[in-house]
Amino acid sequence: MEREALLHTSSSPKNSELSSPTKRPSKSLLIIFALTNVAFLICFSKIKFSTGGTEVTKIARPEVIVKVPTEISTTSTALSSTSQFISSTNAPAPRSPENKIFPQNSTDCPYEQWNQVRTDFIPNMNFHKKLSKKWKSDFKYLYHTLPSAGAAFVHEDQIVVTLTAENQVDDTVYCRYYDCRRREIMDPFKSTIFPRCTVFCPRRPGTKFITISKDLNETLEYSIPIVPRLEKPPHYFTVCMATLYGDEPKFLQIVDFIEYHKLQGATFFHIYLRNVSDYDRVLLDNYVKTGDIELITLQDHFWRADYMWHHGQINDCHHRSKHFSKWTALIDIDERLEMKSDKFKTVVDYLDSIQDDSISSLRFRVKWVMKHNYTPARYENETQLQSEMIFHKYQNTSQLGRERDQPKCIIRPENVAMMSIHGPKDMYKGKKKIVVPEDTGFIRHYRNVENKIFAHGYKKMMSHAPFNISPIDHDIDKDLSKKIMDRVKWTYEIVQPTCEQKAKMYRVESTSPPCNNETKNLN
């Protein structure tokens, strides 16, 4: 029962959270009682209860205490609160029934109907085994020594755990379950890491947290919450944005990406964050507040370079989008899904035309756009923003790439068994894909030509010459410019009172900075 005994303790991840099944009451409190009045000690020591086999002493409830005849000292706070209990019982007040929506006591977990399910096997197990043979030795890199659970999603028949370690594919691991108070539910399950950095776990009633361990005697990493994916998918079309990192300022590209794809019909964005400037982060947090995006911060206990998060990010967003959205695009901050058809004005118009469950991926080929500079670090004024918008500033566009030239996909997440950066590797069902025709749509991919490009990237891009000036659709340009402007100004143009007004407010709080340049900049 006691995990400590089994744990290998020399490794660094903390496991104290995992080892104490129940909070123990302070022993010193009991000693004070003992010294003050022997009757109390007897009373308390009798009150024990059992939690999952562990005996725990707990402070008695008031109705037990009042039975003890005693003289009350008022010097101890513990005792004076006891005296209140006594006086209230002398004049009994009618008890109002307790609201049953709360746990009934400090060790209970709330009862949840949806979470009473136990399953014993993993769906598609044999298919996964086949795939793992087929895609053998595909990805063995990085140096993680632990699985590092990153996120977990509970479906009706299983819990999907995405790991951030990517070097342990096909390894045997254990699903470890925890209840609402992070007490381990002693019913682990032996599973396998596949595909790449995914572990499928069966369900256990009452599970609220989960972690993955390499062995039953292995150090446990921190457990993570399971996120329900049990309802009808709330979205029709969502977008995953690959990891943000690097020193190029990003606020303008982020607002462009989000507002542009909203115009295409996307209603939610999963955005993966490694590092952006504090200024850019303000915008991301603003979008979190308005419920447009979820921000997934990528970080674990082991080293890797920023760009090495890409595969894990794709895998996570694939699973994150299952039972969340009918269609999901997996693209980068510098890519835009563009429609080029009179029939389908937006991406969702096009998706509406595909009412066929045998089709699960739409492959968009790429046109590259040369981008010569970084986008600005801060918003200055409307003129600056208008001219810096990337679709205004950069329009020199290549020919359409071939299907194998780094295409990007919109997928039906549940149908995909295994996802890669450029498209599904294998499917559960709906095996057909559509290579989107040139006159329907493509990906506009902005490419930094002076900075931040892999050596072979430039050559590859230039192989798609000739380049021609090709702006985005005029109506979208107009809508998008306004939406970007509004959002940026709303986020960064903080309404400033006069310097005198600020000084006055400070005086209300009894501080009185002078009305000078410094005050002008106080926010």
Ligand X SMILES: *[C@@H]1O[C@H](CO)[C@@H](O)[C@H](O)[C@H]1NC(C)=O
Closest distance of CB 373 from ligand X, Å? 13
Q: What is the 3-state secondary structure (H, E, C) of 45-107?
A: HHCEEEECCEEEECCCCHHHHCCCCCCCCCCCHHHHHHHHHHHHHHCCCCCCCCCCCCCCCCC
Q: Which two tokens stand for residue 372?
A: 């010569």
Residue 288 Cβ vs ligand X, minimum distance, rounded to whole Å? 19
Shortest reach from residue 292's CB to ligand X, in Å: 23
If binding is defined by CB under 6 A, does position 104 make contact with ligand X?
yes
In angstroms, what is the minimal distance from the CB of 58 to ligand X? 5
The 17-56 site mask, x for binding ligand X (CB under 6 A), equals --------------------------------x-------
Residues 107-116: b if buried by 16+ CB within 10 A, e if exposed: beeeeeeebe
Give me the phi and psi of 507, to 5 degrees please: -65, -35
Whichever of 384 and 521 has its CB closer to ligand X, that residue is: 384
The nearest distance, CB 171 to ligand X, in angstroms, is 13
d(CA 294, CA 484): 19
The distance of closest approach from Cβ of residue 10 to ligand X in the complex, given in angstroms and rounded to an integer, is 9
Of 103 and 437, nearer to ligand X (C-beta) is: 103
| Stretch 274-293: interaction string toward ligand X, x if CB under 6 A | -x-x----------------
In the shown chain, the binding pattern of residues 304 to 343 toward ligand X, with x for contact by CB under 6 A and - for none, equals ----------------------------------------
Residue found under tokens 């342990």? 168
Site string for ligand X, 256-275 (x = CB under 6 A): -------------------x
Contact window for ligand X (CB under 6 A) among 16-24, 99-107, 331-339, 407-415:
99-107
The packing angle between helices 27-36 and 38-46, to 10°, is 140
Instruction: Closer to ligand X by CB, 123 or 249: give it.
Output: 249
- The backbone torsions φ and ψ at residue 373, rounded to the nearest 5 degrees and listed phi first, read -135, 165
Which residue in 139, 458, 467, 492 binds ligand X (CB under 6 A)? 467
CB of 60 to ligand X, least distance (A): 10
Q: How far apart are CA 469 and CA 393, in angstroms?
A: 11
**Can you spell out the DSSP letters for 468-479?**
EE-PPPHHHHHH
From 54, 107, 132, 491, residue interacting with ligand X (rule: CB under 6 A): 107
**Residues of 403-419 as b/e, b for ≥16 C-beta within 10 angstroms?**
eeebbbbbbbbbbbbbb
- How far CA 66 is from CA of 39, 62, 63, 182, 449, in Å, comes to 11, 6, 6, 34, 80
| Closest separation in Å from C-beta 47 to ligand X | 9
From residue 218, how far is each of 8, 121, 178, 409 by CA, in Å?
6, 23, 16, 39
CB-nearer residue toward ligand X: 126 or 217: 217
As measured in angstroms, the least distance from the Cβ of 52 to ligand X is: 10
d(CA 290, CA 490): 12
Amino acid at 92: P
Number of residues that bind ligand X (CB under 6 A): 21
Q: Name which of 239 and 461 has its Cβ closer to ligand X.
A: 461
Binding mask 367-386 for ligand X (x = CB under 6 A): -------------xx-xx--
C-alpha distance from residue 57 to each of 26, 51, 131 (Å) = 9, 11, 52
| CB of 221 or CB of 414, closer to ligand X | 221
DSSP codes joined into one string, 137-204: TS---S--SS--EEEEEE-SS-EEEEES--S-TT-EEEEEEE-TT--EEEEEEEEEB-SSSEEEE---
> Which range, of 103-111, 164-172, 198-206, 282-290, touches ligand X by CB under 6 A?
103-111
Hey, what are 488's tokens? 């940026």
Can residue 493 be called a binding residue for ligand X (CB under 6 A)?
no
| Residue among 467 and 492 whose Cβ is closer to ligand X | 467
Q: Counting contacts by CB under 6 A, is residue 108 touching ligand X?
A: yes
> Quick check: 81 and 61 in contact, CB under 8 A?
no
Footprint (CB under 6 A) of ligand X, residues 397-436: none
Using DSSP's 3-state secondary structure scheme, residue 347 falls into: helix
CB 317 within 8 A of CB 332: no
C-alpha–C-alpha distance, residues 186 and 204, integer Å: 10
Binding status of residue 492 toward ligand X by CB under 6 A: no
Q: Would you say 84 or 384 has its CB closer to ligand X?
A: 384
Instruction: Give the angle subtended at the CA of 468 by the CAs of 466 and 470, to the nearest 5°.
Output: 145
Q: How far is the CB of 520 from ligand X (least distance, A)?
A: 17
Cα distances from 263 to residues 237, 307, 406, in angstroms, run 12, 29, 24
Is residue 506 involved in binding ligand X (CB under 6 A)? no
Restricting to residues 195-254, name those near ligand X by CB under 6 A.
215, 217-218, 247
Which position among 3, 22, 54, 58 is part of the footprint of ligand X (CB under 6 A)? 58
Considering beta carbons, is residue 105 or 511 the nearer one to ligand X? Answer: 105
Interface with ligand X (CB under 6 A), residue from 396, 406, 440, 491: 396
Q: Give Cα 396 to chain centroid, integer Å.
A: 36
Q: Which residues are at the interface with ligand X (CB under 6 A)?
A: 8, 49, 58, 104-105, 107-108, 215, 217-218, 247, 275, 277, 380-381, 383-384, 396, 465, 467, 469
